[in-house]
Amino acid sequence: MLYLVPSPIGNLADMTYRAVTILKEVDVILCEDTRTTSVLLKHYEIHKPLTPYHQHNEHKILSHLADQLLAGKTMAVVTDAGTPGISDPAFLLIRECVRQGIKVECLPGATAFVPALVNSGLPMNSFVFEGFPPLKKGRHTLFTKLATEERTIIFYESPMRIVKTLDEIAKYFGEDRPCSVSRELTKKFEETKRGTLKEVADYFRAKTVKGEIVLVVGGVV
C-alpha cells in the first residue's frame, strides 16, 4: 500500500496525528531530501528507513518501488513541504500503482495554495492552480491564455523571480488586476500583501524577498 502524507509547509506543529501514526507504521518513507525529512522525523520521534525520491530519480526507481509494493511493503511518500504531487514528485508512482492495482491513500494536510487563496480576499468559489510558471518556453502562451481567465488564478513562484513575474503578468493582464502574494506561510515572518499587480510588484521591488511564495491573481471581470 502507498500512503501520500502531507508535511508542514513551515510550522512543524501543523503535522496531523494521523500522519505521524502512518509514518511510524510504514516500512519505508520516500522523501525528496533526506536531510529535510530527517528534521521532521526527529521532531516526532519517527525511526524509519528513508529512500530518496525526487524529480531526478523518480523515473529510474519507479519499477523497483512498484515491485516492492506488490511484494507487500507499505510505503509513504513525503515531500519537503506540502502535499506530494502538488508541484512535487508523486504523480508517476501514483499512476503506476493505479495501473497495477496497488492501493493508494492520500491523507489530508498542508498545501500552501489553500491558505494563500483563502487569505487573499479574492473569489475562491472557482479557481485554477497553475503551479510554477514556465521559465522560458511556454511562458508567453500561458500568460496570453490566462489573461482572459475568469476564475481566480494561483501560481507558485520563487523569491528571486516574484517581481519579474508580477511585472510580466501585469503586461498581459493589466497593471490594475487585483492580486495577493503570500510568503513564509505558517512561519514567524508570514506575510500577505494585497493590491494591484503594479502595487504589489513595487512593494516587493523595494525590499529583500525571502521564503516560498504563492501568488493569487483575480480573474478577468
Assess whether 15 and 56 both reside in one domain: yes
The closest of 106, 9, 3, 93 to 54, measured between CA atoms, is 93
Query: Of the residues 63, 89, 106, which one is the last residue of a structural domain?
Result: 106
Domain boundary among 106, 138, 170: 106
Domain boundaries, position 46: 2-106
- Chain segment 22-53, per-residue pLDDT in tens: 999 999 999 999 999 999 999 999 999 999 99
**pLDDT given for residue 106 in this prediction:** 97
In terms of domains, do 93 and 139 share one? no
Distance CA 207, CA 174 (A): 23
Rounded to two decimals, the pTM is 0.92
Mean pLDDT of 97-115: 96
Q: Which residues contact 196 (CB under 8 A, 6 or more apart)?
A: 175, 176, 177, 178, 179
As for how many domains the chain has, the answer is 2
Cβ atoms of residues 162 and 181 within 8 Å: yes
Sheet holding 178-183, edge to edge: 127-131, 152-157, 213-217, 178-183, 191-196
C-alpha cell of residue 102: 496497488
Domain boundary among 87, 106, 125: 106
Same structural domain, 11 and 102: yes
**Same-domain pairing of 121 and 100:** no
User: Are the beta carbons of 190 and 210 closer than 8 angstroms?
Assistant: no
Give per-residue pLDDT as tens, 127-171.
999 999 999 999 999 999 999 999 999 999 999 999 999 999 999
